[in-house]
Amino acid sequence: MQLVPHPHAIEPSSLSDTATRTFIAKPKADTEKAEEKPWWDFAGHPASQAPVFDILQDDRIVEELNRKLDADEFPVIEIPSNVMKAMSILDKKDFEYPEITDLISRSPAMAGEFIKTFNSALYFRGETINDLKVGLPRLGKENIKAMLYMYSSRMNFSSNVLFNGLAKNIVEHCYAVALLANYIGQDYYANPEEAFIAGLLHDIGKLGVLKALTETYEMPEESDFEMSEDVFDHIFPLIHERAGEFLASHWKISESIKFAIKHHHDFNTMEEIDPDLEEYHLAALINLCDSMARILGYGRRISKMNIFDTDAARILSFEKDNSTEVFLRKIPEMLSVKTK
């Protein structure tokens, strides 16, 4: 089945750059007063429209994806053989980091993702690391596994004209949320490393949904249209959490991280749950970091908000005071600096 432009869709060429970009531009500061506001007190991104295809507006698509999830027929994202070998090595109790160095280095693109992380502001220790043998132990095996899953998921769309850009932007958003979750988790969560993994995988279900679409429907070989996160979330507002939980179960991710993946949007509406549960706090942390990343331009548009007024901040006891504001002022630079 071919994708056909919706008759009321705006032509991509007529959209402004801001409207068509999936990776959000920084919000405009129209007045001196707006410029004085701290980044966490956000005025909101302007509303915009994007073209939609007829087939993607069909409610039966969501129904079919939910049916596949219920029947355990949802497609699993393929993991390349060299990544699977690295996973097997990491699962051994007595593994050695040099064992996986060679496997990762065989893919320059994959090695580049790790080197970028080694030299991010979160992990940077004053000296640039370009050697996998030096950098991999700094991350730890669980973080390495999560990055391998994410990299493999993105590579499924490297040649897809419709979803390649969206997949890249989803991964970039997840990477930002992971860095934020680790950074904030050092003060507000018991296990910052677990928070990094949960942040990295929290939207993995979006890539799973894209995978299911490519397997169920015939995609165009050429297209002027590129799916954005705004369009995606309008069409599939709730399903990516279920899809993410499905993939995390298949990959044998821990229960607390699976909980955060499934409930990072609805944790504050759950009934009869112990508010002291560790996984409940992890879901709140990922929700808070998701909002922060989107405010700072990593992810889809976000409406007006102050992060101190959110349910997530309340649950985490993330309170506004001088030390917290100093803590937050470091975040934009932390996300913008990828390498030294």
Q: Last residue of some domain: 132, 155, 178? A: 155
Q: Last residue of some domain: 155, 176, 211? A: 155
Q: Last residue of some domain: 129, 155, 181? A: 155
Tell me: do 187 and 146 sit in the same domain: no
Tell me what pLDDT residue 229 has.
Answer: 84
Tell me: do 336 and 251 sit in the same domain: yes
pLDDT one-digit tens code per residue, 80-134: 888 888 888 888 888 888 888 888 888 888 888 888 888 877 777 777 888 898 8
Tell me: do 59 and 173 sit in the same domain: yes
**Any idea which residue has 């949904």 for tokens?**
209
* CATH number of the CATH domain containing 273: 1.10.3210.10
Q: Is residue 95 part of a domain?
A: yes
- From the CB of residue 255, how many other CB atoms can be counted at a distance below 10 Å? 10
Contacts of 122 (CB under 8 A, 6+ apart): 179, 182, 183, 334
- pTM (predicted TM-score): 0.81
Q: Is residue 161 part of a domain?
A: no
Task: Say how many domains are in the chain.
Answer: 2
Tell me: do 284 and 151 sit in the same domain: no
Tell me: do 263 and 298 sit in the same domain: yes
Task: For residues 171-175, give the mean pLDDT.
Answer: 92
The span from the CA of 184 to the CA of 161, in Å, is: 36
Contacts of 316 (CB under 8 A, 6+ apart): 188, 189, 281, 284, 285, 288
Tokens of 253: 């991710």
Tell me what pLDDT residue 58 has.
Answer: 66
Tell me what pLDDT residue 235 has.
Answer: 79
**Any idea which residue has 């007190």 for tokens?**
41
pLDDT one-digit tens code per residue, 264-293: 999 988 877 887 889 999 999 999 999 999
Among residues 179, 180, 177, 156, which one has the least CA distance to residue 168?
156
Least-confidence region, from 14-23, 91-100, 246-255: 14-23
Q: Say if CB 335 and CB 296 are below 8 A apart.
A: yes
Tell me: do 67 and 120 sit in the same domain: no
Tell me: do 235 and 333 sit in the same domain: yes
pLDDT one-digit tens code per residue, 28-78: 444 444 457 898 888 888 765 555 555 566 678 888 899 999 999 999 888
Tell me: do 88 and 227 sit in the same domain: no
Q: Is residue 47 part of a domain?
A: no
Q: Say if CB 187 and CB 50 are below 8 A apart.
A: no
Tell me what pLDDT residue 9 has.
Answer: 34
Q: Is residue 308 part of a domain?
A: yes
Tell me: do 65 and 135 sit in the same domain: no
Q: Is residue 99 part of a domain?
A: yes
Task: For residues 175-192, give the mean pLDDT.
Answer: 92
Q: Is residue 221 part of a domain?
A: yes
What's the full length of the chain, in residues? 340
Q: Is residue 287 part of a domain?
A: yes
Tell me: do 135 and 175 sit in the same domain: no
Q: Taking 90 as the threshold, does the pLDDT of residue 244 lie above it?
A: yes
Tell me: do 207 and 73 sit in the same domain: yes
Residue-range definition of the domain harbouring residue 107: 78-155
Tell me: do 298 and 233 sit in the same domain: yes
Q: Is residue 5 part of a domain?
A: no
